[in-house]
Amino acid sequence: MEVRQVLRALISHPGVSGCEGGVASFIKEEFSRYADEVRVDKLGNVVALRRGEGGGSGPQGGRGGDPSGRRGAGRERAARPRVMLAAHLDQVGLVITAIEEGGFLRCAPVGGVDPRTLPGQEVMVYGRRPLPGVVGSLPPHVQEPRDQEKALPYRELFLDLGQPEEEVRRAVAVGDVALVRRELVELAGEVVAGRAFDDRAGVAVLLLCLEELARLRCEADVYAVATVQEEVGTWGAMTSTYGLVPDVGVAVDATFGDVLGVLEGEAVSLGKGPALGVGPHVHPRLFERLLEVAKQEGIPYQVEPSPTPYGTDAWAIQVAREGVPTCLVSFPVRYMHTSVETLHLDDLRQAGRLLARFVAGLTAEFVEGLRCF
């Protein structure tokens, strides 16, 4: 699998939180190349199952088990460990809040879009059909001097489709979503820029992991889940973890890449391997195991202190049901939540390799013995 091409395709499909159908169908197809079964659940999460070798799959038993992947809420243990790998498929974007006189559209952010990055951008508005537009604002000549020093609030931004008001009203409704347009930008070598690397690049890592697992012996049943609505509250991870009842959870997400002005220790370097999160929401035995596997396999890695649990699916997985031992594997991305998120493709390749080796080493005995202390 050529990760550059997959990433290019993954970011080309729209998936604003709550409207993820476009990218979800694409990911369903991609997962099905490597998985025994793929389904989309009621919230929109794309769930792929790659069955492990040997043992049974729990109360439903055997390879012909329940394709929903659900097992009873009771505590009968599966003979094969159940591992959930999660990367979110949604992206931050805009929602149309009003259609104004002249056909100008007002908008509000879905998730943490930085409004300073919007003026002058090209957008696509997903109305009855996709409509190209631009983000407009008052030109500097007619702004008050003091306003020029401030970031524009959303009420001073508008989307312009270049169409008469009646046409706009026919094609667009309040509640439709919009995205900044951006194709993958080749910077230099393995460094690329683009939109929604947070967390489509995480989905690419899951695909790399599944591809690698085909070459390994793996006892565990692996559920690769592309989750919805992470950017607005990690809701997809919450519901899919509840349904899957995993023994181990791994969240794969973007973290802050090194940029000018960020202190060492607050960001992770591009091109130096995946970052392994450590902190209260990461199970200490899983963190240790990730370190061991990285060292054994000669995979470069960085350790990232993660003192607060919020901001990724890891937290949602960890606190599902009676608690799920969870760890966090990240890759550095600069300029997060802009349309020029920047990353190093080797970090994704190494994360995929690490994840596959880690998963292949998980045995029923290991997951049974997982205790924090």
Binding of residue 90 to Zn ion (CB under 5 A) = no
Sheet holding 191-194, edge to edge: 185-188, 191-194, 341-344
CB of 88 to Zn ion, least distance (A): 6
Both tokens assigned to 264:
């060492």
x-or-dash string of contact with Zn ion, 47-86, rule CB under 5 A: ----------------------------------------
- Measured from the CB of residue 115, what is the shortest distance to Zn ion in angstroms? 19
Contact 21, 44 (CB under 8 A): yes
Q: Taking CB under 5 A as the rule, does residue 199 contact Zn ion? A: yes
- Catalytic, out of 30, 219, 230, 341: 230
- Strands 221-227 and 82-88, bridge-based pairing: parallel
CB of 64 to Zn ion, least distance (A): 36
* Of the residues 198, 219, 247, 347, which one makes contact with Zn ion according to CB under 5 A: 198
**Sheet of strand 82-88, all strands in order from the earlier edge strand to the far edge:** 37-40, 46-50, 221-227, 82-88, 248-256, 326-333, 275-278, 302-305
Using CB under 5 A, which of the segments 30-38, 143-151, 236-244, 251-259 binds Zn ion? 251-259
**Does residue 368 have an active-site annotation?**
no
Q: Closest Cα to residue 195, out of 123, 142, 297, 125?
A: 123
Q: What are the percentages of helix, strand and coil residues in the chain, rounded to 5?
A: 30, 25, 45
DSSP H/E element including 130 = strand 130-136
Residue from 212, 253, 304, 347 binding Zn ion (CB under 5 A): 253
The token pair at 57 is 């799959």
- Window of 41-49, 156-164, 193-201, 318-326 that interacts with Zn ion by CB under 5 A: 193-201
Q: How far is the CB of 92 from Zn ion (least distance, A)?
A: 9
The answer to whether residue 346 forms part of the interface with Zn ion (CB under 5 A) is no
Residues contributing to the site for Zn ion (CB under 5 A): 198-199, 253
Q: Which residues are catalytic?
A: 230
